[in-house]
Chains A and B, each alone.
Chain A
Amino acid sequence: MEDHEILTKFQDPASRNLAFNQLVRKYQSKVYWHVRKMVVDHDDADDLTQDVFVKVWKHLENFRQDAQLFTWIYRIATNECLNFLSSKRRKFLLPLTDVGAELAAKIEADPAIAGDEIELKLQKAILRLPDKQRLVFNLRYYDEMPYEQMAEVTGTSVGALKASYHHAVKKVEEYVTRNTDE
């Protein structure tokens, strides 16, 4: 079902639930993986994905179609992730690096990555980035999202996003190089 069709059906109380169910089925995987890349843990990603869609439900009626539906949902998901990570830091009074180390430990324990040393180092390097820079890196490197769309999601200018991604790549490359055996 196309986005405009979902939105039209959502406006009608009789077909609202059906339309929203279609919306969830269409975007759940993308939202889940967007969140999962940020929080690493499946259970956290599951909770946050559900929270994201509940928020989408609450605010969809007021969604102005000057942005793409998916960009708008991505923005909600991004804010949920950033709030989750910063509240985790506040709750346990942890500095930035400790949350990164905790996420790195989760990645290390994940059987999917076991044995792939370079991939593990790459993931550890990504997790050392500040949250917002990591978000920019994920959107560009993994999702291959155009900068203009990234600007809509993050509310940051295209120039700033390009600079942020460039610095993120440098940091990642340096970390992996430094931590690789000869």
Chain B
Amino acid sequence: MKTAFKLDAHPRRPRPLLSEPPAGYFDKLPTQIMARLPQAETQQATGWNWLRFLSPALRTSLASVAVLGGFAASFYMSGSAPLVPATAPTAALDAVPRTELVGYLLTSGAQVESSDLAILTAGHPGIAKGFLQVSEDELNEALDAQPSDDATYL
């Protein structure tokens, strides 16, 4: 007859007879665990900790305002951007003395067409008075001498 096994009679061990973990395992384990912790997430969460105190509805509203604000800011920024390149050449030309400009136009071989004058005088009626020292009669005489198709601009 078999002898009945009794657990109480068996020597009690603190744990089953299993092989020990590798040497130094418990020395390395804390480092491995610390390396796996979501640090960045926690730091970010700490920075935005105050959000946790708001109600879900308020948090949703805040998020909507932030998104709309972002759109508004990007719209404003994109609208004002073209003004910068438009003003820059004008400002650069204003810095050049007028006598240098006239000298350049007279010596560089650049042709100033009557159509150029027509466009400029349309915007600034007194623009020629600074450098064109002629009387009204002389002007009228010159205009009469112009071919009819050029005269339509003046």
Rounded to whole angstroms, the CA-CA distance of A104 and B34 in the bound complex is 33
**CB contact under 8 A between A110 and B18, given known A50-B32, A173-B4:** yes
| Contact between chains at B33 and A53 (CB < 8 Å) | yes
Q: Pick out which of these stretches binds chain B: A70-78, A85-93, A174-182.
A: A174-182
Kindly identify, within residues 27 to 47 of chain B, every residue whose CB is under 8 Å from any CB belonging to chain A.
29-30, 32-34, 36-38, 42, 46
Asked whether A54 lies within 8 Å of B19 as measured between CB atoms, the reply is no
A28 to B2, CA, bound (A): 42
Interface pairs (9), CB distance under 8 Å = A13-B46, A25-B30, A36-B18, A54-B33, A57-B38, A169-B7, A177-B5, A180-B2, A182-B1
The interface residues of chain A, by DSSP majority, are classed as helix
Q: List residues of chain B with CB under 8 Å of any chain A CB.
A: 1-7, 10, 12-22, 25-26, 29-30, 32-34, 36-38, 42, 46
Query: With the chains together, A50 CA to B26 CA distance in Å?
Result: 12
Given contacts A28-B29, A116-B17, contact A173 B7 (CB under 8 A): yes
Give the 6 A-B residue pairs with the shortest CB-CB distance, closest first: A176-B5, A112-B19, A113-B17, A24-B30, A177-B5, A53-B33
A:150-179 near B, CB below 8 Å = 169, 172-173, 176-178
A176 neighbours in B (Cβ, 8 Å): 5
| Given pairs A112-B19, A119-B16, A142-B13, 9 additional interface contacts (CB within 8 A) | A20-B34, A36-B15, A36-B18, A42-B19, A54-B33, A54-B36, A112-B17, A112-B18, A180-B3
Are B21 and A46 neighbours in the complex by a CB distance under 8 Å?
yes
Given A177-B5, A182-B2, residue A126 in contact with residue B33 (CB < 8 A) = no
Known: A42-B19, A173-B4, A180-B2. A28 touches B46 (CB 8 A): no
Count A interface residues, CB 8 Å: 44
Instruction: Answer yes or no: A141 CB below 8 A from chain B CBs.
Output: yes
Which residues on the A side are within 8 Å of B30 (C-beta)?
21, 24-25, 28
Interface residues of A in 25-62 (CB under 8 A from B): 25, 28-29, 32-33, 36-37, 40, 42, 45-46, 49-50, 53-54, 57-58
